[in-house]
Structure 1
Amino acid sequence: MSASYKTPGVYLVEKDAFPSSVVEVATAIPMFIGYTEKAEYKGQSVFNKPFRISSFAEYRAVFGESALMRFTLEDGKVTPPKVRFRLFDAIRMFYQNGGASCYIMSVGPYGEEISEKALTEAIVPFEKEQEPTLVVIPEAVSLESADACANVQNAMLAHCAKMKNRFAILDVYDGYKEPRECISDFREKVTNFLNYGAVYYPWLNTSVVQSNEVTFANVENVDALAKMLTDAVPAEPATKAEQIKAEIDKMAAADVKDEAAVQTIHRTLSVICPNYATIMDLVREQLNLMPPTGAIAGIYTMVDNSIGVWKAPANVGVNGVISPAINLTNEEQEDLNVPINGKAVNAIRTFVGDGNKVWGARTLDGNSLDWRYVNVRRTMIMLEESIKLASKAFVFEPNTANTWVTMKGMINNFLTSIWKRGGLAGSSPADAFEVYVGLGETMTPEDILEGILRITVKVALIRPAEFIEITFQQQQQKS
């Protein structure tokens, strides 16, 4: 430095007083893949492009509204359409349960089919996105078969394992059925990279779709609906019977694309015709039967933001839910939680006086002592990714003791801050983690000649108290 001093005078030199630091990466940024009404931002199409949003209002502005699902009435029963688009309602559930920023990938507009190929291929562009940490595809369960659904879910898990910085949340195909009808099939078909994903069961009876969102426009065969209502119109009083029949005639002749006219007829019929209101409630119940991944992604976000990724996302209430589609007992959950093959399925259960709760925190790799719990896997992802990104600053630095000490101090400071916030187990930092780096400790002379700098980090991660045993016994009277 002194060699550059040639003119007499005063020279200022600034020195960094603080070492480099590790910035904790975000842990709950889901990527949602599915179909939307539109995909347009500032006049440009964003179909098949990852697009970041931070609110449900922003989703609606860019991607539009929900699809018009048209049900068929036959013999007094409501039959759902063959194709069911679920992304819109999954995003609603996400934000109702604490969701924040997320990425949306629209693979196309609403149409006549949901494509396994399109959903699978939409995962690939996210390999270039650093931020997403959760993978959610609600419409995988809308595919025509359990095999097609499993193919998409296996692709999600493979993507997470390849990227090593994200985690998949899965649904059970036909998850509104009893466990014996759908769980074993799921376990047989979802096979690889199990520690990078978790599955939740059963589906949920929600209250997301409101009564004003379901009208006769949601009925495919309006003529059959008109006949059912006409046959049920009471003869007396005559004036009311005539009014009901007049509204039914308007309904049968209405253009379902004229939303204002549809809403006017719908409101009138809902008030004066009890049978119409009953049928609309049946349709709404079908629309409100939803797979849980949207809500679960929101819960992950809420728990991460309020406590930390190290807290298991379980024993948490699910908002916007009336009840699980299947009311599980303790005995039924036993095989879901601790199966022989290790593929744990996290239950959503309802408890009297306590509401609907997520009652499981296991990954699909339930037999692994390392990666059994969701929070353990996701905490390790956060630590690895944070330290990895911070270490990029040292690539091509001299592979000497000065660099080793600097990096060790940086990682120590970061892990100490995580420990202070309750993210690592141990009564002191020494009990919570250890960082090793150095010649003869983590590296050989050959490593240095080859330009390799090795650092070993050991951390004591927090595991949830999944089973709490309290022992009582009698003792003799002492006084």
Structure 2
Amino acid sequence: MPSYLSPGIYVEETDSGAHPIEAVGTQTAGFVGTAPNPDARPGEAVAINNWSQFTRVFARDGDPSTDLANAVQGFFLNGGSRCYVANVPANGSIAPKKGGLDALNAIDEIAIIAAPGRTDVASQTALLDAAEAMKDRVAILDAPPTADDVEALTRAGAASGDAAPGDAPPPKPPKGQAAGLRPRDSDGGYGAFYFPWLRVRDAIDPDKIVSAPPSGHMAGIYARTDAERGVHKAPANVVVRGALGLTQLVSRAEQDVLNPAGVNCIRFFTREGVRVWGARTLAPASSNWRYLNVRRLFVMIEESIAISTRWVVFEPNDRPLWKAIQRDVGAFLTLLWSQGALAGSRPEEAFFVKCDEETNPPEVIDAGQVVVVIGIAPVKPAEFVIFRIGQTPTGATVEAG
């Protein structure tokens, strides 16, 4: 206790014991591909904060544009502010221990990964494997620029493009069936698949109109939506900035086939322009992870809690610690609920946090563990808005349901 030797008012600062949980960033992207200068910083994850910096690092005078360059420019055009770029040789493997993905895996800041223009099975599988292993990011995958038979986009199989040197050849489709163009399922919903490509002004030579993979533009839209609305908002029904058109127009009837299979369509609407018209993951249709914003919200929550509760390690494993964990996690989830990220009219309906004698019996404590059980009710997107229109003698009525 401090000593007070003369009359007066004394102010003491005391630690409340609270450890506020801060939400981790969700807007940083990681791109792996071939830069205009294929020899610039090979295989290294280089932080890029604007388009001018990309051209200074990865492009020389006279270098032709690449899918990676168009994607990075699309990222910044659509609201992205920071990304990492790993430059790998043309047609080289992007897989860890072979190319640039291992460099991106080492960057905790990255929340979105893509290999712009890589539609081969090996590249798509490597992206999904990396996202599923890291569990702190999602992968954006590009479909081929066009598809004569859109139903092929609903079947997993040998995508367009050959396997990179040293990689196993893509699997053959079942006998009597055309090769599929869709990546494999991601049971945890760690990947999203977009079709078709965009028509844009070339990143290096703006006088040319070229086809660009959508992954870079979509990563920018993720970042923009996160900044404006929050990670719980589905990155869909948003204008694609810089898109002058599409490599293939998708009809409503075709999207009726594609959407249930987890193929996110980019559509052209006469009045609204080019818009993203899907927000599904590559999880099976019956999965809890079929919506992209739900998966990304959970990634953010899990990583935020994991990082901000490191103070718990080596603390006495007893009731005061359990109450402190419940308090800190509960305060964080209450904030998310107030921001509209969780469903329910009250916090009690949106989440629960349980850390007590039941979750931490003696055998768990003896094993040096503290167990917290957290339940969350995420907000899911209004994917289907149905209006019921009825005619009565007194006039028309409209009900939304």
TM-score (norm 1): 0.71
Post-superposition Cα deviations, 1:251-275, rounded to whole Å, max 9, x if no partner, equal xxxxxxxxxxxxxxxxxxxxxxxxx
Kindly state the Cα deviation for residue 192 of structure 1 after the two structures are TM-superposed: 4.6
Query: Would the aligned equivalents of 2:141 and 2:193 in 1 still touch at CA under 8 Å?
Result: yes
Query: How many angstroms does 1:36 deviate by?
Result: 2.2
Query: Which sections of structure 2, spanning at least 5 residues, go unmatched?
Result: 160-179, 396-401
The Cα shift of 1:155 comes to: 1.0
AA aligned opposite 1:61: R
1:188 CA displacement: 6.2
* Map of 1:51 onto structure 2: 46
In structure 2, what is the equivalent of residue 16 of structure 1? 15
Matched residue, 1:25: 24
Q: 1:114 to 1:369 in 2, by over 3 A?
A: closer
**Shift of residue 328 of structure 1?**
1.2
- Is 1:346 matched up with 2:258? no
What do residues 260-315 of structure 1 show as CA deviations (whole Å, max 9, x unaligned)? xxxxxxxxxxxxxxxxxxxxxxxx34xx1111111101100000011000000000
Give the Cα–Cα distance (whole angstroms) in 1 for the partners of residues 245 and 336 of structure 2.
37
Letter in 1 for 2:387: I
Residue 93 of structure 2 corresponds to which residue in structure 1?
116
For residues 319 and 460 of structure 1, the distance between their equivalents in structure 2, rounded to whole angstroms, comes to 33
Give the alignment partner of residue 62 of structure 1, picking from 25, 45, 57: 57
Q: Distance in 2 between matches of 1:48 and 1:131?
A: 18
Report the AA paired with residue 355 of structure 1. Answer: G
- For 2:364 and 2:223, the matched residues in 1 are separated by 41
2:374 paired residue number: 457
Distance in 2 between residues matched to 1:192 and 1:354, nearest whole Å:
32
Q: What is the CA-CA distance between 1:8 and the residue it aligns to?
A: 9.7
CA contact (8 A) 2:95 2:102 kept: no
Residue 425 of structure 1 deviates from its aligned partner by 1.0
Is 1:349–1:356's contact at 8 Å kept on the other side of the alignment? yes
Deviation at 1:19, TM superposition (A): 0.9
1:47 deviates by 2.7
CA distance in 2, matches of 1:65, 1:427: 56
Say which of 151, 160, 171 aligns to 2:122: 151
Write the distance in 2 (CA, Å) between the matches of 1:396 and 1:39.
Answer: 48
How far off its partner does 1:178 sit? Answer: 5.0
User: For residues 304 and 67 of structure 1, do their structure 2 counterparts lie closer, same or farther at Cα, with a shift above 3 Å needed?
Assistant: farther
State the Cα distance separating 1:18 from its structure 2 match. Answer: 5.6
1:473 deviates by 2.0
Cα separation, 2, equivalents of 1:199 and 1:435: 34
Contact 2:255 2:265 in 1 (8 A): yes
Aligned to 1:253: none
1:247 alignment counterpart: none
Matches within 5 A, 1:184-203: 184=155, 185=157, 186=159, 190-194=183-187, 195-203=189-197
Match of 1:307 among 229, 234, 241: 229
Alignment correspondent of 1:363: 281
Q: Are the equivalent residues in 2 in contact too, given 1:376–1:462 (CA < 8 A)?
A: yes
Paired with 1:202 and 1:20, the residues of 2 have a C-alpha distance of 46
Distance 1:64 1:375 in 2: 34
Matched residue SS, 1:31? strand
Aligned match for 2:104, one of 126, 130, 134? 126
Q: Which fold has the larger relative contact order, with Cα–Cα distance below 8 Å and residues 6 or more apart in sequence?
A: 1
- Cα distance between partner residues in 2 of 1:62 and 1:462: 41
CA distance in 2, matches of 1:302, 1:398: 42
Output the CA distance in 2 between the equivalents of 1:334 and 1:391: 44
For 1:291 and 1:64, the matched residues in 2 are separated by: 19
The 8 Å contact of residues 200 and 244 in structure 2, kept in 1 or not, is answered as: yes
| TM-aligned CA distance change 1:314 to 1:21, over 3 Å | same
Contact kept? 2:22, 2:304, Cα under 8 Å: yes
Corresponding position of 1:399: 317
Q: 1:101 aligns with which of 73, 77, 82?
A: 82
Q: Which runs of 4+ in 1 moved over 6 A?
A: 7-13
Deviation at 1:94, TM superposition (A): 0.9
- Give yes or no for the alignment of 1:432 onto 2:350: yes
- State the SS of the aligned residue for 1:471: strand
State whether structure 2 residue 137 is matched by structure 1 residue 166.
yes
Where does residue 207 of structure 1 map in the other structure?
201
Shift in Å at residue 28 of structure 1?
A: 1.6
Q: 2:386 aligns with which of 462, 469, 472?
A: 469
Distance 2:300 2:380 in 1: 16
SS of structure 2 residue aligned to 1:425: coil
Percentage of pairs with the same residue = 32
Structure 2 residue matching 1:129: 3-state secondary structure: coil
Letter in 2 for 1:290: A
> How many residues of Structure 1 are paired with residues of Structure 2 in the alignment?
368
Closer, same or farther: CA 418–117 of 1 in aligned 2, 3 Å: closer
Q: Deviations over 1:356-376 (max 9, x none)?
A: 110001001141341010000
Deviations 1:352-397 (CA, angstroms, capped at 9, x unpaired):
1111110001001141341010000000000000001011111111
1:66 to 1:311, Cα distance in 2 relative to 1, 3 A: farther
- Provide the rounded CA distance (Å) in 2 between the counterparts of 1:67 and 1:370: 49
Structure 1 position 297 matched with structure 2 position 219: yes
Q: Secondary structure at the match of 1:165?
A: coil
140 and 295 in structure 1: CA distance in 2 versus 1, 3 angstrom threshold: same
1:28 partner letter: Q
Distance 1:370 1:118 in 2: 28
Question: Greater CA radius of gyration, 1 or 2?
Answer: 1
Contact 1:175–1:182 under 8 Å retained in 2: no
Shift of 1:407: 1.0
Q: CA deviation at 1:463?
A: 0.5
Report the more deviating stretch, 464-473 or 180-189: 180-189
